[in-house]
Amino acid sequence: MVSSQPIAGPLLKWYDKAKRDLPWRRTQDPYAIFVSEMMLQQTQVKTVIPYYGNFLKEFPTWKALAKANPDKVLKLWEGLGYYRRARNLQAAAQMIAKDFKGKLPDSLDEIVKLPGVGRYSAGAVLSIAYGKRVPLVDGNVIRVFSRVFLLKGNLKAGEGHQQVWRVAEEQVPAQRPGDYNQALMELGATVCLSDNPLCLLCPLIAICGASQKGLQAGFPERSEADKTVDIAMTCLFLEDKGKVLIKKRSEEEKWLKGMWEFPSAEGKTFEEAQKKLEKELQASITLPLLKEVRHQITHHKIKLRFFGARRKSAKALGKAYQWVTRAELSKYPFASAQNQLRDWVLKNTPSEPAKTSPQKSIRFKLE
């Protein structure tokens, strides 16, 4: 067992005064708390607030979510990122309806059987919704513990990560474990910031090793896993008889499964991505760059280039593809980078059906 000075006392005292008034802190409904915890993973509070309200309005119960159209669930999640969470949330609702008589399980053994529920989510939901003494560890907790207790090495994986969990288990109090877990995350989000932590406002300053030694900037230590990977992505705009080609991302994709997009391919270089895409669609690029978008998914830095293209073959495409009108484009769930391309298409391309060949109808404003 890790030996560490208890932090619950000062932390809870601070939380009672400083906590933000957030919508999911006004409810005891396990369903609403579960939804909020799924949304809050790797996402800032201010981003989550409107999504949380809209989601609960549309799907107020496990049952409503379980039987919803999956595209509608993803559409409500559009812009929130990490779309697997939405799919897991619906799968969890279906499992709760089928295997748990419509009630969120209150034991660790059972709750981790739900799709998308790992140790972090289990700790958050069990402690907040049911008052169970269960710890949690997320990026904020890692930062706070690494500084307070001067924990070194890679704390996101392997032995270092286990060490953080041992500290978390030791620290979580029997009284008010849900408030304590929220206080810990709140401290990481609002006071113990990555850059320039606000130590003078911190309830843990008297026991924080990093603050006492002036080492805040060195904790947590950076690891190889923090390094980003560059990915080149090419996307194509294809139009035929006034309809635009879009594709549903398959279950085999690394990320954004089930989301819709303008057909895309990835590679180490744009040329590699372009070749893959032209081969799959039997198409060739006919216009220079229409738009470039940069975005990041976990530690992958993606640079996406969007070109106009023309198919060289009339052969039918697979089931994942659909030709849709511009008006229909907005009904499909698109992730944020693809959403920018959709906005670009709606703003810059003519909406009248092509009367001659598709390419003659393209009169884009190039960027």
Residues of the shown chain interacting with ligand SF4 in the complex, contacts defined by CB under 6 A: 144, 147-148, 191-192, 197-199, 202, 204-205, 208, 210-211, 216
Q: With respect to ligand SF4, which residue has the nearer C-beta, 108 or 199?
A: 199
CB of 187 to ligand SF4, least distance (A): 7
CB of 164 to ligand SF4, least distance (A): 14
Cβ contacts of residue 222 below 8 Å, gap of 6+? none
CB of 190 to ligand SF4, least distance (A): 10
> Which residues have a catalytic role annotated?
37
Identity of the amino acid at 5:
Q
| Both structure tokens of 242 | 């006034």
| H helix or E strand, kind and range, residue 138 | none
DSSP letters, 218-271, are G-SPP-GGGS-EEEEEEEEE-EETTEEEEEE--TTSSS-TT-EES-EEEESSHH
Task: Report the distance separating Cα 201 and Cα 192, nearest Å.
Answer: 9
The answer to whether the beta carbons of residues 145 and 11 sit under 8 Å apart is no
Q: With respect to ligand SF4, which residue has the nearer C-beta, 114 or 192?
A: 192
Where on the phi/psi map is residue 222: left (φ > 0), alpha (ψ -120 to 50), or beta? Answer: beta
The answer to whether the beta carbons of residues 124 and 46 sit under 8 Å apart is no
Cis geometry, peptide bond prior to residue 220 (ω within 30 degrees of 0): yes
The answer to whether the beta carbons of residues 261 and 333 sit under 8 Å apart is no
Cβ contacts of residue 91 below 8 Å, gap of 6+? 114, 115, 116
CB of 202 to ligand SF4, least distance (A): 3
CB of 191 to ligand SF4, least distance (A): 5
Where on the phi/psi map is residue 114: left (φ > 0), alpha (ψ -120 to 50), or beta? Answer: beta
CB of 7 to ligand SF4, least distance (A): 9
As a whole number of angstroms, the longest Cα–Cα distance in the chain is 76
